[in-house]
Amino acid sequence: MSRTDEILIATGDGAPERPMNWAAAFAGAAVAIAVAIILMLLASGIGLAVVSPWSGEGVSAKSALVTGGIALIVIQWIASAAGGYVAGRMRAGWAGLRSDEAFFRDTVHGLVAWTVAALIMMGVAASSAFSVAGTGVKAAATVAGAAATAAGGVADNGLDYYVDGMMRPGQAPAAQPLRPETLKEVSRIIARAVATGTLPQSDKTYVTGVIANATGVSQADAEQRVDSAMQGLENLKQEAKQKADDARKASAATALAAALALCIGAFVACVAAVLGGRARDAFAYET
């Protein structure tokens, strides 16, 4: 017993239409990526031309950062518009389709083209260590512990300088030479005082005595050296915290601006795809 399968292929006006034209979407994504790369290279060249390492020349670092952020947003919008328009213009014609359904399909083509381009660009950027999102996450993780580690950074950068300043010899001869073990102990005491924000009186008295014996200065001068060093280290600590807070704010602003730019870029791609689709319907089949 045999069975014959009949395959019916509809042609002409009755042929089934695919609502999604992937070739057009990928073509739009490719155009968006190419436009973005070209504009980014152009913006980089202009940026290097206006920024100078010499003081008093070129734009300031803050102005360059703001201008660069605005340029990236504009580039993203232009690339999205180009990719969306190509995706809408190159999609297959939908004869007899309702206008609202054609509008929806065009927007989807633009959105898909933008999505593919965005994913590829982000993947390449992440692999090249230029990912905005990755930078934001790393900066946020660093800033999260900045308050706790600022004192450690101060200890690494300024502690030795201020301890050496406290141990500079005076005019009078030293009562006894300073041993390396004692110098390390003084450094640990000062480092802990910077980390906790206070120097106990017993530790201050001990450090003052060590300075007086090792440098030949009076007890009052030794105490003044300790106070001066603690004030200098506290200033460094506050500067480190301020820089960490500035980095936190900059990272947050960058992440929010990038998210907003991407959302608007998706909208621009959808609108451009609708315009491209309407242009195709208006001109592709005219007689």
Nearest 5°: phi and psi at 129? Answer: 65, 30
pLDDT of residue 83: 94
Q: Please check the confidence at residue 174 and state whether its pLDDT lies above 90.
A: no
- The mean pLDDT value of the chain amounts to 78
115-146 pLDDT, tens digit each: 999 998 888 777 654 444 444 444 444 444 44
- Residue 74: how many other CB atoms lie within 10 Å: 13
> For residues 237 and 195, is the Cβ–Cβ distance under 8 A?
no
pLDDT, tens digit (0-9, with 9 covering 90-100), for 204-222: 999 999 888 888 888 899 8
- Model-level pTM greater than 0.75? no
In Å, the largest CA–CA distance within the chain is 121
- The DSSP line for the chain is -----------GGGS---S--HHHHHHHHHHHHHHHHHHHHHHHHHHHHHB-SSTTSB--HHHHHHHHHHHHHHHHHHHHHHHHHHHHHHSPP-TT--HHHHHHHHHHHHHHHHHHHHHHHHHHHHHTT--HHHHHHHHHHHHHTHHHHHHHHHIIIIIHHHHHHHT---SSPPSSPPPHHHHHHHHHHHHHHHHHT---HHHHHHHHHHHHHHH---HHHHHHHHHHHHHHHHHHHHHHHHHHHHHHHHHHHHHHHHHHHHHHHHHHHHHHHHHHHHHHHHHTT--
Q: What pLDDT was estimated at residue 41?
A: 87
